[in-house]
Amino acid sequence: MQNIITHKDFEYAFDINKCYECDGNCCIGESGYIWVNPKEIKDIAKFLDIEDQEFKNRFLRKVGYRFSLKEIKKNSSYECIFFNPIEKKCSIYSVRPNQCRTFPFWDYFKTNIKEVKKECPGII
């Protein structure tokens, strides 16, 4: 059964069911930033049952005045520190950052549709 999401500002739609067949392409690949805001930092730390400062030390990197989730380098690829490579899914799914929740409807992809189609098999 298809579970299609559309967005008025985008030419493409997204079939959520494809996430069950995909190996988590949006959490691995090229290095990039996975931004987290102060509320998300608190929410994820709470989910992990650790103090905010411990969470920052272990899982975040500071970029200018902002924070991004760390990545792990695997051969020539990178994966988010919260990607579970065995189950091929996010280990903090219920508290994942807004950046992850809004994929694949990112402004950048409005004019780079080929790129998002290449990355995400759920694009239709």
Shortest Å, Cβ 64 to ligand SF4: 20
121, 18 contact by CB (below 8 A): yes
Residue type, 108: Y
Stretch that binds ligand SF4, among 47-55, 58-66, 75-83, 106-114 (CB under 6 A): 75-83
Rule CB under 6 A: which of 79-108 touch ligand SF4? 80, 82-83, 90, 92, 96-97, 100, 103-104
- What is the H or E stretch that residue 6 is in? none
Question: Does residue 34 interact with ligand SF4 by CB under 6 A?
Answer: yes
Question: Does residue 25 interact with ligand SF4 by CB under 6 A?
Answer: yes
d(C-alpha 89, C-alpha 31), whole Å? 18
67, 41 contact by CB (below 8 A): yes
4 DSSP β-pair partners: 15
Question: Does residue 24 interact with ligand SF4 by CB under 6 A?
Answer: yes
Stretch that binds ligand SF4, among 5-13, 17-25, 55-63, 106-114 (CB under 6 A): 17-25
